Amino acid sequence: MTRPEKRKLQAKEFGKVAVLFGGRSSERSISLQSGENILNSLLQQGIDAHGIDPDENLAQKLIEGKFQRAFVALHGKEGEDGVVQGLLQLLGIPFTGSGVAASALAMDKARAKLVMNGLRIPTPVFGVAKDIETANEISQKIGFPVSVKPVAEGSSIGVTRVANLAGIAPAFHKAARYGDVIIEKWIDGKDFFVSIIGDTVLPSVEVHASSGFYDYQAKYESHETKYLCPAPISLAKERALRALAYRAFCALGCEGWGRVDLMQDESGKFWVLEVNTIPGMTSHSLVPMSAKAAGMSFDDIVMMILEQTLQAEPATELVGEVAQA
């Protein structure tokens, strides 16, 4: 049986699928792109999929729509931090990706790094600052250059590389708009990204940003960013990189799919920066790029991610009743 034939046979098994994308986070625009791509892929594969842009009436929409499972394509707060996952769990609707606890933990960079430190997973030294005085103390203790960024944001939003004490204040204010601030030792070297689907660790991607910093502009707007996949490293290094990424992914309790962001310093050592539980699925995104290097199409990986929801029992009776106006 060919994979397309298998997909047609399975389409009915999924029932009615809600694709959640958009939301109210600072990453809304990226989520809209990811969600549209995922929704179109599911529809092309015969899945009864429907897009939903979450708001305060999300629970009511899910109940009234009699959705049987959800593909979560939300990035950032209220979508990637365990909030939506908790709602779906309460409603008894199987969903893609990590559960409540792992989503919340991975979103909180500081607590995630504490877990990784405890398990001896190499991650740059850091501190959390709630005011400029503390930020100055932490940065001087760590040593410049440092990375100043929000504790709970993605897509490099609010991130600044700071080379000296004079740069801490403006960088702190920029990051503090999004909540608590984490100050982390800046690793000079190469950017690597490893995507994971289920228990499959895909080929790594090495990224070269023209500015030297893989920020929001380099990720989503620039056409000068260079992506090398598979990464031009030795087989031994590739295996070590993938193994480290998978260790970090599992350490935080993540499941379903995700992406681990790492740096390789000038001595060749790999460092884990963070784990993303709902990576982007845009035209510039790294998960589809890694999958392509492994011989998988975009449709393949979307279906692989959704298929994992079949391992959970779908809701036969949704929790609660919808209030009538």
Domain boundaries, the chain: 3-97+302-311, 125-186
Residue 133 appears among annotated catalytic residues: no
Give me the CATH code for the 125-186 domain, please. 3.30.1490.20
DSSP 8-state secondary structure symbol assigned to residue 155: T
pTM of the shown model: 0.89
Q: Two tokens at 143? A: 């040593």
Which one from 80, 153, 215, 274 is the annotated catalytic residue?
274
> Is 274 one of the annotated active-site residues of the chain?
yes
Identify the CATH assignment for 3-97+302-311 out of 1.20.210.10, 3.30.360.10, 3.30.413.10, 3.40.50.20: 3.40.50.20
Cα dist from 115 to 38, 70, 259, whole Å: 32, 29, 17
Q: Enter the DSSP assignment of 76.
A: S
The answer to whether residue 180 is catalytic is no
pLDDT tens figures, 267-319: 999 999 999 999 999 988 999 999 999 999 999 999 999 999 998 554 444 44
Kindly name the residue from 156, 276, 285, 290 that is annotated as catalytic: 276
Task: Note if 320 is an active site residue.
Answer: no
280 catalytic? Reply is yes
Rounded CA gap, 111 and 252, in Å?
A: 10
Catalytic residue among 34, 155, 195, 290: 155
Q: Is the model more confident about 124 or about 9?
A: 124
**Which is catalytic among the residues 204, 214, 220, 285?**
220
DSSP alpha helices (H): ranges in 15-130?
A: 28-44, 58-64, 83-91, 100-107, 109-118
- Whether 7 sits among the annotated catalytic residues: the reply is no
Annotated catalytic residue 276 = yes
Q: Is 23 a catalytic residue?
A: no
Q: Is 308 exposed, middle or buried (0-12, 13-18, 19+ CB in 10 A)?
A: middle
The pLDDT of residue 284: 83
Query: Considering 25, 27, 158, 300, which one is annotated as catalytic?
Result: 27
Q: Which pLDDT does position 77 carry in this prediction?
A: 87
Q: Which of 5, 46, 107 is nearest to 306 (CA)?
A: 46
pLDDT of residue 283: 82
